[in-house]
Chains A and B, each alone.
Chain A
Amino acid sequence: MRRRDLLKLGGLAALGATAACGGGSGSGSGGNVQLQFMFWGSTYEKAAVERMLNQYEQKNAGVKVKPLFTPDEYDVKLNTLVASNKLPDLGYVPMSMSFRLGEQGKLVNLFPYLKKYPQLAGYLPDAYLWTGQDNLHGVATANESMLLWYSKSAAAAAGVTPPAEAASAWTWDQLVENAYKLTVDQNGKHPDESGFDPKQVRQFGVSISFTYGAAWYGLLRSNGGDFADESGRRCVLDSPEAIQVFQNLQDLVYKHRVAPGPGQLAATGDEVPGTNILLKTKRVAMVVDGQWSLLDMNESKVDYGMGVLPKYKEPFTASQVAGASAAFAGGKHEEEAVELLAFHNDPRYVDLFAKGLWMPQEKKYYEDQAAIDSWTKNAQHPPEFRTVVVDYARDHGVPDLRNRVKNMSAISSDVLTPALQELETGKRPAAEIMKATAPKITSMLQGWHHTQDV
């Protein structure tokens, strides 16, 4: 027993070193292919993914796909599987981890497959995730973009109509102005009226997350600012443009008092409670959030409207906010895994597009009228979806920071998020916080991720 144990120990120590030996769960023998597909999601998404896998099996006799549903602690499980060489054949990968695994050669390079699967080659340029020249380690699972959700009845009551097209997007001042109209305390007073009680706000005008980068990145870009300079090695969040955007965010809460401060929504993370609930209970009249909320909005029968984000100079919104999908290297059935990868987010086989949770990655679904209609012309998608989401994401979308900045997850949790939390408490002005934070981020920056044309 003890000897065995010691042997095991030696094996453990060597485990990391034996990285390259074939993992993969494929136990295919005699023409039978067995794939394992790892994914997360709500019970709703789970059912949809399983239907998709069934269809794939029907279309590909001899291929069996085993779903590996991992509801929570996805990164713990995936890290464990990576370390023990027990990787599935393909699946979802958290965005920052996908770049790490790509660099380590743990993910199949899809670049050589683009010719074989023209469908994969026709994605939106920002959907591709590159680890280096001609090394395409994955794609964003679905497109997703940010917009201004609002409660229709709240807006109507205040005589406010958030615009639904880029051309008529509000300026920041217009957003503030309308947020005033939509903010009401328990006595029906607005923040610009005397006697307004900021501690007893019944309905906030607008909510834009401080700590969720995708919520403000579009605004930052719209004002001509960015996260880092062209080299990706110097953080420019202390530029006048950036400081203006962050100061404006802070002012919404403390100067204008039209937005909730920390804790006022009963929220710690981004999701307690969801945007659908905030609008339904009219706790907030307008919320900046992703288009994926559409599924929830419909499910909980919210009387919602969709508007475009406000703009400073050029209109912009953050897109490609989802996680990554990739095939894991070293599996026995790489070919089939890539084929299933191309299949798994095809709107023809997954109803999550028509239901509003996902947006397609193939360009044609944004350009060809029939293709656009195929996923947007249904009861789940309101008429303004076309201009607010389809057109806006196509023409004014910029990929989320997590897909572009190297080392972003460490930067985010160690430096950026704490700074934004401080901003949110309103104790110090944006200029001070950002000037202190930008150099710290600069010291952690490792450049932009590689991008290229397919």
Chain B
Amino acid sequence: MRRLETRWGILMALPAILGFLIFTIGPMAASAFFSFTDWTIGASPSFIGLDNYTAMVGDELFWKSLTATTYYTLGSVPLVLIVSFAVAMLLNQKVRGLSAWRTIFYLPTLVPAIANVVLWIWIFNPDFGLLNSLLRQGGLPDSQWIYGESTAVPSLIIMSTWGFGNTMVIFLAGLQGVPRHLYEAVSIDGGGAWRRFWHVTLPMMTPTIFYNLVVGVVGTFQVFNQAYVMTEGGPNHATLFYVYYLFRKAFTESEMGYASALAWTLFMIIMVVTFLMFRNARRWVYYEMAGAR
């Protein structure tokens, strides 16, 4: 059995392994090599050892972009997780027109970014924008939103919440796998909705939550689009997200050597964070018994 499992295991993982060897590892290794070179696209790369990495230490924008990105990740990931979980629960109820409701809640994910940009620019407009109008009606102080240095990242975090659709769909799929007999057991014990949620839904959903957490963190550390289309990194570098900065170095300045070093530094950071999340997962993620073997 053991040998059979090994044979099948490798065989079934083979497409993925081959894919990694053919399509992924080569370009990764090439970029790792370039991170040790001074390479302006068009010229020849020359080996400079760790110079790119030491240059980063003194690069003010590197630190700025790392801070902005971490800020964004810490704000956006929990918010999106909570919102999408709540919506998934909502859309898992038996209601009339469920298909339509689900589609409506997924729509923001489907609308192209460029159409969204114009909308959000209006929402954030300091004078007649939606948010400030609401704040003023509520007698609250208004804000400069994406146009203020201190409010720009929080504004983009709020905006990112609208992209909850994909996370929500994964939760929705996960909710289908929660065995009903467990709910029955809680009900028989006289437990209400809250106990069912706390003692059944939440523990049974931990593998899905864990997935969304990891993917969320890996994804938001590489956040790019919002800075690219909404703020162009401004004002005053407030939303200069890491990958946006890297992208600019790589393709506007053609400094591919330095960009590669930036990329591999981020790689290490994400790697460490992910590793910690996986290690920590043993304490709170519930798999079917044998899954842990």
Query: A residues within 8 Å of B by Cβ?
Result: 1-2, 5, 8-9, 12-13, 15-17, 19, 73, 75-76, 79, 82-83, 96-97, 100-101, 104, 106, 199-201, 261-264, 266-269, 272, 409-410, 413-414, 417-419, 421-422, 424-425
Complex contact A5–B145 (CB within 8 A): no
B290 CB to nearest A CB, Å: 33
Bound-state CA distance A16–B27 (Å) is: 13
The docked-state distance in angstroms from the alpha carbon of A106 to that of B40 is 13
A selection of 15 A-B contacts at a CB cut-off of 8 Å is A9-B30, A12-B27, A96-B252, A100-B40, A100-B254, A262-B147, A263-B144, A266-B122, A268-B121, A268-B230, A269-B232, A414-B61, A418-B235, A418-B237, A425-B235
Is B21 in contact with A5, judged by CB distance below 8 angstroms?
Answer: yes
Do residues A17 and B44 form an inter-chain contact, with CB atoms below 8 A? yes
Q: Which residues of A contact B40 (CB under 8 A)?
A: 100, 104
For B148, give the chain A residue with the smallest CB separation.
A425
A272 touches B42 (CB 8 A): no
Name which of B50-58, B70-78, B124-132, B213-221 contacts chain A: B124-132
Q: Does B25 lie within 8 Å of A200, measured CB to CB?
A: no
**A394 CB, min distance to chain B CBs, angstroms:** 32
Of all chain A residues, which has the CB nearest B124? A263
Q: Which 7 residue pairs across A and B have the least CB separation, nearest first? A: A263-B147, A262-B147, A12-B30, A421-B235, A16-B45, A104-B42, A418-B236
Closest chain-A Cβ to B257's Cβ sits at a distance in Å of: 9
Which residues from chain B contact A19 at a C-beta distance below 8 Å?
42-44
Of B22, B42, B126, B252, the contact of A261 (CB 8 Å cutoff) = B126
B117 within 8 A of A: yes
Does A262 lie within 8 Å of B235, measured CB to CB? Answer: yes
B43 → A minimal CB distance (Å): 5
| Interface flag for B18 (CB, 8 Å) | yes
Q: In the complex, are the beta carbons of B30 and A201 less than 8 A apart? A: no
Q: Does B39 contact A (CB under 8 A)?
A: yes
Q: Does B250 contact A (CB under 8 A)?
A: yes
Which residues from 98 to 152 on chain B have a C-beta closer than 8 Å to any C-beta of chain A? 117-118, 121-122, 124-129, 144-149
Instruction: Add 5 more A-B contacts to A12-B30, A76-B251, A264-B125 (CB < 8 A).
Output: A5-B22, A9-B30, A79-B256, A97-B254, A266-B122
Residue of A nearest to B234 (CB): A421
Give me the interface of B with A, judged by CB distance under 8 Å.
Answer: 18, 21-22, 25-27, 29-30, 33-34, 37, 39-45, 61, 117-118, 121-122, 124-129, 144-149, 230-237, 248, 250-254, 256
Are B147 and A83 within 8 A (Cβ)? no
* Distance of A268 Cα from B236 Cα, bound (Å): 13
Decide: A106 and B42 in contact? CB cutoff 8 A: yes
In-complex Cβ contact of A263 among B39, B61, B125 (8 A): B125
- Chain A proximity of B156: nearest CB distance (Å): 12
Cα–Cα distance between A158 and B228 once the two chains are bound (Å): 39
Contacts of A79 in B (CB 8 A): 41, 250-251, 254, 256
Minimum C-beta distance from B228 to chain A (A): 10
Alpha-carbon distance between A83 and B147 when the two chains are bound, in angstroms: 37
Complex interface: chain A residues within 8 A of B124 (CB):
263
What are the residues of chain A within 8 A of B45 when measuring CB–CB? 16-17
| Complex: A100 Cα to B18 Cα, angstroms | 39
Bound CA span A292–B78, Å: 46
Whether the pair B253, A409 counts as a contact (CB closer than 8 A) is: yes
Cross-chain contact of B236 among A12, A200, A422 (Cβ < 8 A): A422
- Closest chain-B Cβ to A339's Cβ sits at a distance in Å of 24
Give the residues in chain A near B127, CB-CB below 8 Å: 199-201, 263-264
From known contacts A13-B33, A264-B126, infer whether A272 and B61 are also in contact, taking CB-CB under 8 Å: no
Please report the C-alpha to C-alpha distance between residue A96 and residue B255 in the assembled complex, in whole angstroms.
13
Closest to B250 in A: A79
User: How many Å from the CB of A13 to the closest CB on chain B?
Assistant: 5
Query: B202 to nearest A CB, angstroms?
Result: 40
Partner of A16, one of B29, B44, B122, B230: B44
Chain B residues with CB below 8 A from A418, complex form: 234-237
Give every chain B residue within 8 A of A9 (Cβ-Cβ): 25-26, 29-30
Known: A1-B21, A104-B42. A425 touches B252 (CB 8 A): no
Minimum C-beta distance from B197 to chain A (A) = 41
Q: Provide the bound-state CA to CA distance between A137 and B128, in Å.
A: 48
Alpha-carbon distance between A73 and B230 when the two chains are bound, in angstroms: 16
Q: In the complex, which residues of chain B have a beta carbon less than 8 angstroms from the beta carbon of A272?
A: 117-118, 121
**Pairwise interchain contact A75-B252, C-beta atoms closer than 8 A:** yes
Given A100-B254, A266-B122, residue A413 in contact with residue B44 (CB < 8 A): no
| Contact residues in A for B232 (Cβ distance below 8 Å) | 268-269, 417
Q: Once bound together, how far apart are the Cα atoms of A269 and B118, in whole Å?
A: 11
Are A75 and B251 touching (Cβ within 8 A)?
A: yes
A8 to B42, CA, bound (A): 20
Q: A82-B42, A421-B235 are in contact. Are A413 and B27 (CB under 8 A)?
A: no
Find chain B residues with CB under 8 A from A422 CB. 235-236
* B233 cross-chain contacts in A, Cβ below 8 A: 413
Q: CB-CB < 8 A to B41: which residues of A?
A: 79, 82-83
Which residues of chain B come closer than 8 Å to A104, judged between CB atoms? 40, 42-43
Given A104-B42, A409-B252, does the pair A8, B26 have CB atoms closer than 8 Å? yes
B205 to chain A, nearest CB (A): 38
Q: Which residues of A contact B252 (CB under 8 A)?
A: 75, 96, 409, 413
Q: Is the CB of A267 within 8 A of B121?
A: yes
With A and B bound together, what is the CA distance between A17 and B44 in angstroms? 5
Give the chain A neighbours of B39 by CB distance below 8 A: 16
Note all chain A residues with C-beta closer than 8 A to B231: 268
Q: A83-B41, A425-B235 are in contact. Are A263 and B145 (CB under 8 A)?
A: yes
Expressed in whole angstroms, the minimum distance between the Cβ of A23 and any Cβ of chain B is: 11
Q: Please give, as numbers and ranges, the residues of chain B lying within 8 Å of A73 by CB-CB distance.
A: 251
Docked CA distance A414–B235 (Å): 12
Our pick among B18, B43, B44, B117 for the contact of A1 (Cβ within 8 Å) is B18
> How many Å from the CB of A213 to the closest CB on chain B?
14
CB B2 to nearest CB in A, in angstroms, measures 26
Q: A83 to B256, Cβ gap below 8 A? A: yes
What's the least CB distance linking B282 to chain A, in Å?
A: 34
- Partner of B146 from the list A106, A261, A263 (CB cut-off 8 Å) is A263
Q: When chains A and B are docked, how far (Å) is the Cα of A395 from the Cα of B25?
A: 58
**CB of A3 to closest CB in B, whole Å:** 11
Contacts of A261 in B (CB 8 A): 126, 147
Q: Hey, which chain A residues are within 8 Å of B42, CB to CB?
A: 19, 82-83, 100-101, 104, 106
- When C-beta atoms are compared, the residue in chain B nearest to A409 turns out to be B252
- Nearest to B257 among chain A residues (CB) is A16
Please indicate which of the listed interface residues A1, A264, A413 has the most CB atoms of chain B within 10 Å of its own CB.
Answer: A413
Which residues of chain B are within 8 angstroms of A13 by Cβ–Cβ distance?
Answer: 29-30, 33
Residues of B within 8 Å of A96, CB to CB, are 252
Q: How far is the CB of A409 from chain B (nearest CB, A)?
A: 6
Q: Roughly how many angstroms separate A83 CA and B145 CA in the complex, as a whole number?
A: 40
